[in-house]
Amino acid sequence: MDNIIHFQTLRKEKEDRLSTYVFQHATMIKSYVDRQVNIREKVKAKYIFSEKVGCERSSVFTKIEEQHFLDWFTFDYLTIKGTTNYQSFVDYSSNNRHSLDAVVHAFFMASVLEPFKVIKSNDSHIHAEKLLTGERCIIKTLSKSKMVNGEDIIFLRSVPVFAHLLCISEIFVQNDQKTIANLIGHFEKSTESWRTFLKKFSIKYSWNRDASVEK
């Protein structure tokens, strides 16, 4: 019994340590994009993003819509160098290595804006099903979830930490059933894997002008 308790304690300590660093890492990425990325690159990217989601180039984004753009700009947009801004951040911070960097970098690079169906939410956790497979999961957010209800379809970016998923993005709600049906139909006609498909097209199906929810 003592060995089991000791193992559980160690596991909890490792989980807490990794979770803390993941959230710190996400904060550092946002700071890098805000302060270090060339403004002309951001303007160019916003034009491309607007075309992808069907907005006029002159559209003024709300604060939360700007977060939707910045998520795509950070992880999915390819710069003139052919890399993502996240990859540029990894290179930029290479002189300040952390013992967890190898694992965390791999998680972040593999992350996609993924759809889930909410079962329930409480405090800083969302209980949900993955939209494609129905696999149940628990998603931990940075703070208490707001305005996320059972049956909602949400898109978010997450990384796995032991038995949980940690949300590293804003939460975007898409309850237009036609849009979700189009997403599934488009994927079924595709020859790509689910995650590769989401990397290319998730932004198209997650976006609407009333879709975003601040955590």
As a residue count, the chain comes to: 215
**What topology is assigned to 112-213 in CATH?**
OB fold (Dihydrolipoamide Acetyltransferase, E2P) (2.40.50)
Q: At what angle do helices 63-75 and 194-206 cross, to 10 degrees?
A: 160
Q: What is the pLDDT along the chain (215 residues), one digit of tens a residue?
A: 566 665 677 778 888 899 999 999 999 999 999 999 999 999 999 999 999 998 887 788 988 899 999 999 999 999 989 999 999 999 999 888 889 999 999 999 999 999 999 999 987 899 999 999 999 999 999 765 567 899 999 999 999 998 899 999 999 999 899 999 999 999 999 999 999 999 999 999 999 765 444 44
Question: Which is it for strands 136-140 and 164-167: parallel, antiparallel or unpaired?
Answer: parallel
Where, residue-wise, is CATH 2.40.50 in the chain? 112-213
Contact call for residues 125 and 141 (beta carbons, < 8 A): yes
Q: pTM above 0.95?
A: no
Asked if 86 contacts 74 with a C-beta cutoff of 8 angstroms, the reply is yes
